[in-house]
Structure 1
Protein backbone atom coordinates (compact mmCIF):
# COMPACT_ATOMS: atom_id res chain seq x y z
CA UNK A 1 0.00 0.00 0.00
CA UNK A 2 1.19 3.47 -0.72
CA UNK A 3 1.97 5.73 2.20
CA UNK A 4 0.26 9.17 2.10
CA UNK A 5 3.59 10.96 2.19
CA UNK A 6 5.36 8.85 -0.41
CA UNK A 7 5.94 10.24 -3.85
CA UNK A 8 4.38 9.07 -7.07
CA UNK A 9 6.31 9.22 -10.29
CA UNK A 10 4.68 11.51 -12.84
CA UNK A 11 6.22 12.31 -16.18
CA UNK A 12 5.56 15.43 -18.21
CA UNK A 13 3.59 13.21 -20.60
CA UNK A 14 1.45 11.91 -17.71
CA UNK A 15 0.60 15.53 -16.85
CA UNK A 16 -0.21 16.29 -20.48
CA UNK A 17 -2.55 13.26 -20.69
CA UNK A 18 -4.38 14.23 -17.50
CA UNK A 19 -4.66 17.85 -18.64
CA UNK A 20 -6.01 16.84 -22.07
CA UNK A 21 -8.66 14.71 -20.34
CA UNK A 22 -9.58 17.57 -18.00
CA UNK A 23 -9.75 20.07 -20.89
CA UNK A 24 -12.00 17.78 -22.94
CA UNK A 25 -14.34 17.40 -19.98
CA UNK A 26 -14.39 21.11 -19.09
CA UNK A 27 -14.96 22.13 -22.70
CA UNK A 28 -18.43 20.57 -22.53
CA UNK A 29 -19.47 23.15 -19.91
CA UNK A 30 -18.20 26.31 -21.61
CA UNK A 31 -21.53 26.88 -23.33
CA UNK A 32 -23.26 26.91 -19.93
CA UNK A 33 -20.97 29.65 -18.69
CA UNK A 34 -21.30 31.52 -21.98
CA UNK A 35 -25.10 31.57 -21.67
CA UNK A 36 -24.70 33.34 -18.32
CA UNK A 37 -21.73 35.60 -19.17
CA UNK A 38 -21.36 35.77 -22.97
CA UNK A 39 -18.71 38.51 -22.85
CA UNK A 40 -16.47 36.82 -20.26
CA UNK A 41 -13.70 34.76 -21.92
CA UNK A 42 -11.92 33.68 -18.72
CA UNK A 43 -13.17 30.07 -18.51
CA UNK A 44 -12.61 29.56 -22.25
CA UNK A 45 -9.09 31.00 -21.86
CA UNK A 46 -8.37 28.54 -19.03
CA UNK A 47 -9.48 25.58 -21.14
CA UNK A 48 -7.41 26.95 -24.03
CA UNK A 49 -4.34 27.17 -21.82
CA UNK A 50 -4.94 23.61 -20.66
CA UNK A 51 -5.11 22.41 -24.27
CA UNK A 52 -1.95 24.34 -25.09
CA UNK A 53 -0.04 22.57 -22.32
CA UNK A 54 -1.56 19.20 -23.22
CA UNK A 55 -0.35 19.64 -26.79
CA UNK A 56 3.24 20.39 -25.83
CA UNK A 57 3.24 23.89 -24.37
CA UNK A 58 4.97 25.01 -21.22
CA UNK A 59 3.57 24.52 -17.74
CA UNK A 60 3.83 28.00 -16.40
CA UNK A 61 2.34 31.40 -15.83
CA UNK A 62 -0.41 31.16 -18.44
CA UNK A 63 -1.92 28.09 -16.78
CA UNK A 64 -1.78 29.64 -13.33
CA UNK A 65 -3.14 32.99 -14.49
CA UNK A 66 -6.01 31.55 -16.51
CA UNK A 67 -6.95 29.13 -13.72
CA UNK A 68 -7.06 32.05 -11.29
CA UNK A 69 -9.10 34.12 -13.75
CA UNK A 70 -11.60 31.27 -14.24
CA UNK A 71 -11.97 31.06 -10.47
CA UNK A 72 -12.75 34.78 -10.40
CA UNK A 73 -15.21 34.27 -13.26
CA UNK A 74 -17.01 31.69 -11.13
CA UNK A 75 -17.44 34.36 -8.49
CA UNK A 76 -19.10 36.68 -10.98
CA UNK A 77 -21.49 34.06 -12.38
CA UNK A 78 -25.20 34.66 -11.90
CA UNK A 79 -26.20 31.00 -11.76
CA UNK A 80 -24.91 27.93 -9.94
CA UNK A 81 -24.61 26.13 -13.28
CA UNK A 82 -22.34 28.85 -14.69
CA UNK A 83 -20.30 28.83 -11.50
CA UNK A 84 -19.74 25.06 -11.82
CA UNK A 85 -18.80 25.51 -15.49
CA UNK A 86 -16.17 28.10 -14.56
CA UNK A 87 -14.85 25.78 -11.84
CA UNK A 88 -14.59 23.02 -14.47
CA UNK A 89 -12.44 25.35 -16.60
CA UNK A 90 -10.31 26.31 -13.59
CA UNK A 91 -9.85 22.61 -12.82
CA UNK A 92 -8.75 21.91 -16.40
CA UNK A 93 -5.97 24.49 -16.20
CA UNK A 94 -5.08 23.28 -12.72
CA UNK A 95 -4.79 19.65 -13.85
CA UNK A 96 -1.29 20.36 -15.09
CA UNK A 97 -0.31 20.90 -11.45
CA UNK A 98 -1.18 17.41 -10.25
CA UNK A 99 1.26 16.82 -7.39
CA UNK A 100 3.16 13.52 -7.14
CA UNK A 101 1.88 12.87 -3.61
CA UNK A 102 -0.07 9.73 -2.71
CA UNK A 103 -3.05 11.66 -1.35
CA UNK A 104 -6.67 11.18 -2.26
CA UNK A 105 -7.08 14.94 -2.59
CA UNK A 106 -4.84 14.89 -5.66
CA UNK A 107 -7.55 12.97 -7.53
CA UNK A 108 -9.38 16.31 -7.78
CA UNK A 109 -6.68 17.44 -10.24
CA UNK A 110 -7.50 14.45 -12.43
CA UNK A 111 -11.28 14.27 -12.16
CA UNK A 112 -12.36 17.70 -10.91
CA UNK A 113 -13.04 19.20 -14.33
CA UNK A 114 -15.26 16.27 -15.28
CA UNK A 115 -17.18 16.38 -11.99
CA UNK A 116 -17.75 20.15 -12.14
CA UNK A 117 -18.82 19.95 -15.80
CA UNK A 118 -21.27 17.16 -14.98
CA UNK A 119 -22.71 19.20 -12.11
CA UNK A 120 -22.98 22.27 -14.35
CA UNK A 121 -24.99 20.20 -16.84
CA UNK A 122 -27.26 18.89 -14.08
CA UNK A 123 -27.95 22.37 -12.74
CA UNK A 124 -28.51 23.88 -16.18
CA UNK A 125 -31.19 21.23 -16.73
CA UNK A 126 -33.02 21.87 -13.46
CA UNK A 127 -30.87 19.52 -11.34
CA UNK A 128 -31.38 16.56 -13.66
CA UNK A 129 -29.10 13.90 -12.21
CA UNK A 130 -29.51 11.67 -15.24
CA UNK A 131 -27.71 14.33 -17.25
CA UNK A 132 -24.80 14.26 -14.80
CA UNK A 133 -24.59 10.50 -15.20
CA UNK A 134 -24.51 10.93 -18.98
CA UNK A 135 -21.65 13.41 -18.65
CA UNK A 136 -19.73 10.88 -16.57
CA UNK A 137 -20.26 8.21 -19.24
CA UNK A 138 -18.83 10.66 -21.77
CA UNK A 139 -15.88 11.35 -19.49
CA UNK A 140 -15.15 7.62 -19.34
CA UNK A 141 -15.03 7.61 -23.14
CA UNK A 142 -12.54 10.52 -23.06
CA UNK A 143 -10.26 8.76 -20.56
CA UNK A 144 -7.29 7.15 -22.21
CA UNK A 145 -5.46 4.18 -20.71
CA UNK A 146 -2.71 6.66 -19.74
CA UNK A 147 -5.18 8.75 -17.72
CA UNK A 148 -6.46 5.68 -15.88
CA UNK A 149 -2.90 4.55 -15.28
CA UNK A 150 -2.13 7.87 -13.60
CA UNK A 151 -5.39 7.78 -11.63
CA UNK A 152 -4.67 4.33 -10.24
CA UNK A 153 -1.35 5.51 -8.80
CA UNK A 154 -3.37 7.58 -6.31
CA UNK A 155 -5.77 6.56 -3.56
CA UNK A 156 -9.48 6.68 -4.39
CA UNK A 157 -11.24 10.06 -4.52
CA UNK A 158 -11.84 11.53 -1.08
CA UNK A 159 -15.11 11.70 0.84
CA UNK A 160 -17.07 14.92 1.01
CA UNK A 161 -17.47 17.64 -1.56
CA UNK A 162 -21.25 17.52 -1.87
CA UNK A 163 -22.73 16.56 -5.21
CA UNK A 164 -19.49 17.32 -7.08
CA UNK A 165 -17.71 14.94 -4.69
CA UNK A 166 -20.33 12.27 -5.40
CA UNK A 167 -19.83 12.69 -9.13
CA UNK A 168 -16.05 12.55 -8.73
CA UNK A 169 -16.23 9.34 -6.66
CA UNK A 170 -18.60 7.74 -9.18
CA UNK A 171 -16.25 8.57 -12.05
CA UNK A 172 -13.24 7.42 -10.04
CA UNK A 173 -14.88 4.06 -9.32
CA UNK A 174 -15.94 3.61 -12.93
CA UNK A 175 -12.47 4.34 -14.30
CA UNK A 176 -10.75 2.11 -11.76
CA UNK A 177 -13.13 -0.73 -12.66
CA UNK A 178 -12.03 -0.77 -16.31
CA UNK A 179 -10.37 -4.17 -16.65
CA UNK A 180 -7.46 -3.34 -18.94
CA UNK A 181 -6.33 -0.92 -21.61
CA UNK A 182 -7.61 -3.27 -24.33
CA UNK A 183 -11.12 -3.00 -22.87
CA UNK A 184 -11.26 0.80 -23.02
CA UNK A 185 -14.10 2.39 -24.94
CA UNK A 186 -13.09 4.28 -28.04
CA UNK A 187 -12.44 7.96 -27.40
CA UNK A 188 -14.91 10.41 -28.77
Structure 2
Protein backbone atom coordinates (compact mmCIF):
# COMPACT_ATOMS: atom_id res chain seq x y z
CA UNK A 1 0.00 0.00 0.00
CA UNK A 2 1.06 3.55 -0.72
CA UNK A 3 0.37 6.32 1.75
CA UNK A 4 -1.65 9.11 0.14
CA UNK A 5 -2.97 12.07 2.05
CA UNK A 6 -6.10 13.95 1.07
CA UNK A 7 -3.91 17.02 0.46
CA UNK A 8 -1.81 15.00 -2.01
CA UNK A 9 -4.92 13.72 -3.81
CA UNK A 10 -6.19 17.28 -4.10
CA UNK A 11 -2.88 18.52 -5.53
CA UNK A 12 -2.71 15.64 -8.03
CA UNK A 13 -6.27 16.42 -9.06
CA UNK A 14 -5.42 20.10 -9.49
CA UNK A 15 -2.57 19.00 -11.78
CA UNK A 16 -4.97 16.80 -13.76
CA UNK A 17 -7.39 19.71 -14.15
CA UNK A 18 -4.62 22.02 -15.36
CA UNK A 19 -3.46 19.39 -17.86
CA UNK A 20 -6.93 18.57 -19.21
CA UNK A 21 -8.43 22.04 -19.48
CA UNK A 22 -6.86 22.81 -22.90
CA UNK A 23 -8.67 19.77 -24.29
CA UNK A 24 -12.02 21.43 -23.58
CA UNK A 25 -11.36 23.98 -26.31
CA UNK A 26 -10.96 21.18 -28.83
CA UNK A 27 -14.01 19.27 -27.61
CA UNK A 28 -16.31 22.28 -27.44
CA UNK A 29 -15.29 23.52 -30.89
CA UNK A 30 -16.42 20.16 -32.31
CA UNK A 31 -19.40 19.63 -29.96
CA UNK A 32 -20.36 23.09 -28.70
CA UNK A 33 -23.61 22.01 -27.03
CA UNK A 34 -22.16 19.08 -25.08
CA UNK A 35 -20.87 20.10 -21.66
CA UNK A 36 -20.23 16.65 -20.18
CA UNK A 37 -16.41 16.84 -20.38
CA UNK A 38 -16.45 20.34 -18.87
CA UNK A 39 -18.72 19.14 -16.07
CA UNK A 40 -16.31 16.30 -15.29
CA UNK A 41 -13.34 18.66 -15.12
CA UNK A 42 -15.33 21.12 -13.01
CA UNK A 43 -16.28 18.34 -10.57
CA UNK A 44 -12.60 17.40 -10.24
CA UNK A 45 -11.68 21.07 -9.79
CA UNK A 46 -14.20 21.37 -6.95
CA UNK A 47 -12.58 18.40 -5.22
CA UNK A 48 -9.11 19.89 -5.73
CA UNK A 49 -10.40 23.09 -4.12
CA UNK A 50 -11.68 21.33 -1.01
CA UNK A 51 -15.05 19.77 -1.86
CA UNK A 52 -15.81 16.23 -0.75
CA UNK A 53 -14.99 13.25 -2.93
CA UNK A 54 -18.51 12.17 -3.90
CA UNK A 55 -20.52 10.02 -6.24
CA UNK A 56 -21.24 13.18 -8.27
CA UNK A 57 -17.61 13.18 -9.44
CA UNK A 58 -17.92 9.56 -10.58
CA UNK A 59 -21.24 10.31 -12.28
CA UNK A 60 -19.63 13.18 -14.20
CA UNK A 61 -16.82 10.83 -15.25
CA UNK A 62 -19.34 8.33 -16.59
CA UNK A 63 -21.13 11.09 -18.50
CA UNK A 64 -17.83 12.24 -20.02
CA UNK A 65 -17.10 8.61 -20.89
CA UNK A 66 -20.35 8.46 -22.85
CA UNK A 67 -19.25 11.65 -24.63
CA UNK A 68 -15.96 9.92 -25.46
CA UNK A 69 -17.81 6.90 -26.89
CA UNK A 70 -20.15 9.05 -28.97
CA UNK A 71 -17.35 11.12 -30.48
CA UNK A 72 -15.25 8.02 -31.10
CA UNK A 73 -18.17 6.36 -32.88
CA UNK A 74 -18.74 9.53 -34.92
CA UNK A 75 -15.09 9.54 -36.05
CA UNK A 76 -14.34 12.75 -34.14
CA UNK A 77 -11.01 11.50 -32.87
CA UNK A 78 -9.65 14.76 -31.43
CA UNK A 79 -12.89 15.30 -29.52
CA UNK A 80 -12.89 11.71 -28.29
CA UNK A 81 -9.38 12.09 -26.84
CA UNK A 82 -10.41 15.41 -25.28
CA UNK A 83 -13.34 13.67 -23.60
CA UNK A 84 -11.02 10.91 -22.38
CA UNK A 85 -8.85 13.60 -20.77
CA UNK A 86 -11.94 14.75 -18.87
CA UNK A 87 -12.80 11.17 -17.85
CA UNK A 88 -9.27 10.66 -16.55
CA UNK A 89 -9.38 13.95 -14.68
CA UNK A 90 -12.60 13.02 -12.88
CA UNK A 91 -11.01 9.69 -11.97
CA UNK A 92 -7.99 11.30 -10.35
CA UNK A 93 -9.62 11.93 -6.95
CA UNK A 94 -10.07 8.16 -6.74
CA UNK A 95 -6.40 7.26 -7.19
CA UNK A 96 -5.87 3.95 -5.40
CA UNK A 97 -3.03 3.53 -2.90
CA UNK A 98 -2.04 0.28 -4.60
CA UNK A 99 1.50 -0.04 -5.96
CA UNK A 100 0.45 -0.91 -9.52
CA UNK A 101 1.64 0.69 -12.73
CA UNK A 102 -1.96 1.07 -13.90
CA UNK A 103 -2.49 3.73 -11.22
CA UNK A 104 0.00 5.98 -13.03
CA UNK A 105 -2.74 6.51 -15.63
CA UNK A 106 -4.82 8.28 -12.97
CA UNK A 107 -1.98 10.74 -12.41
CA UNK A 108 -0.74 11.27 -15.97
CA UNK A 109 -3.69 10.19 -18.15
CA UNK A 110 -5.26 13.65 -18.34
CA UNK A 111 -2.04 15.09 -19.80
CA UNK A 112 -1.47 12.16 -22.18
CA UNK A 113 -5.03 12.29 -23.58
CA UNK A 114 -4.85 16.08 -23.93
CA UNK A 115 -1.54 15.75 -25.77
CA UNK A 116 -3.10 13.23 -28.14
CA UNK A 117 -6.17 15.43 -28.67
CA UNK A 118 -3.86 18.32 -29.55
CA UNK A 119 -1.92 16.13 -31.99
CA UNK A 120 -5.08 14.94 -33.71
CA UNK A 121 -6.42 18.49 -33.85
CA UNK A 122 -3.18 19.48 -35.64
CA UNK A 123 -3.53 16.85 -38.39
CA UNK A 124 -1.92 14.12 -36.26
CA UNK A 125 1.31 16.08 -35.76
CA UNK A 126 3.46 14.27 -33.15
CA UNK A 127 5.49 17.42 -32.48
CA UNK A 128 2.37 19.04 -31.04
CA UNK A 129 1.94 16.16 -28.60
CA UNK A 130 5.60 16.23 -27.60
CA UNK A 131 5.34 19.97 -26.96
CA UNK A 132 2.29 19.41 -24.78
CA UNK A 133 4.12 16.75 -22.77
CA UNK A 134 6.88 19.29 -22.09
CA UNK A 135 4.23 21.76 -20.90
CA UNK A 136 2.67 19.09 -18.65
CA UNK A 137 6.13 18.36 -17.26
CA UNK A 138 6.49 22.02 -16.34
CA UNK A 139 3.06 22.06 -14.68
CA UNK A 140 3.94 19.23 -12.29
CA UNK A 141 4.54 20.26 -8.72
CA UNK A 142 7.03 18.54 -6.41
CA UNK A 143 4.06 16.81 -4.74
CA UNK A 144 2.89 15.37 -8.06
CA UNK A 145 6.37 14.04 -8.79
CA UNK A 146 6.77 12.73 -5.25
CA UNK A 147 3.50 10.78 -5.40
CA UNK A 148 4.26 9.53 -8.92
CA UNK A 149 7.58 8.06 -7.81
CA UNK A 150 5.82 5.95 -5.16
CA UNK A 151 4.26 3.96 -8.00
CA UNK A 152 5.93 1.67 -10.53
CA UNK A 153 6.80 3.10 -13.94
CA UNK A 154 3.97 3.66 -16.41
CA UNK A 155 2.76 0.48 -18.07
CA UNK A 156 4.00 -0.41 -21.52
CA UNK A 157 1.49 -0.15 -24.37
CA UNK A 158 1.77 0.13 -28.11
CA UNK A 159 -0.63 2.99 -28.71
CA UNK A 160 0.21 6.66 -29.02
CA UNK A 161 -1.48 7.74 -25.77
CA UNK A 162 0.54 5.10 -23.93
CA UNK A 163 3.74 6.43 -25.49
CA UNK A 164 2.89 9.99 -24.50
CA UNK A 165 2.10 8.81 -20.96
CA UNK A 166 5.45 6.99 -20.73
CA UNK A 167 7.28 10.03 -22.09
CA UNK A 168 5.72 12.19 -19.37
CA UNK A 169 6.40 9.55 -16.72
CA UNK A 170 10.07 9.39 -17.73
CA UNK A 171 10.40 13.19 -17.84
CA UNK A 172 8.98 13.56 -14.33
CA UNK A 173 10.98 10.69 -12.81
CA UNK A 174 14.25 11.54 -14.54
CA UNK A 175 14.44 15.29 -15.13
CA UNK A 176 17.47 16.49 -17.08
CA UNK A 177 20.34 17.50 -14.88
CA UNK A 178 21.41 21.13 -14.82
CA UNK A 179 24.77 21.88 -16.34
What is the TM-score normalised by the length of structure 2?
0.95
Deviations 1:42-89 (A, max 9, x none): 000001011100010111112101111000011121411000000000
Specify every segment of 5 or more residues in structure 2 that has no aligned partner in the other structure, as ranges: none
> Does structure 1 residue 107 correspond to structure 2 residue 101?
no
Separation of aligned partners in 2, 1:28 and 1:138? 11
SS of the aligned residue for 2:69 comes to: helix
What residue ranges of structure 1 are gaps of 5+ in the alignment?
1-6, 184-188
Q: Which residue of 2 aligns with 1:18?
A: 12
Q: Are residues 1:8 and 2:2 paired?
A: yes
Match of 1:54 among 45, 48, 54: 48
1:137 paired with 2:134, answer yes
* Structure 2 partner of 1:186: none
Give the Cα separation in 1 of the matches to 2:16 and 2:57.
Answer: 13
Compare the two structures and name the one with the higher helix fraction: 2
Residue 160 of structure 2 is aligned to residue 166 of structure 1: no
How far the C-alpha of 1:141 sits from its partner, in A, is 1.3
Shift of 1:161: 5.2
Moved over 3 A (4+): none
Measured in 2, the distance between the counterparts of 1:62 and 1:27 equals: 19
The size of the alignment, in residue pairs, is 175
How far off its partner does 1:149 sit? Answer: 0.3
- Give the distance between the partners of 1:165 and 1:13, measured in 2 at CA: 28
Q: 2:77 matched to 1:80?
A: yes
1:25-53, CA deviations, whole angstroms, 9 ceiling, x for partnerless residues?
11010011111110000000001011100
Alignment partners' CA distance in 2, 1:140 and 1:49: 23
What is aligned with 2:153? 156
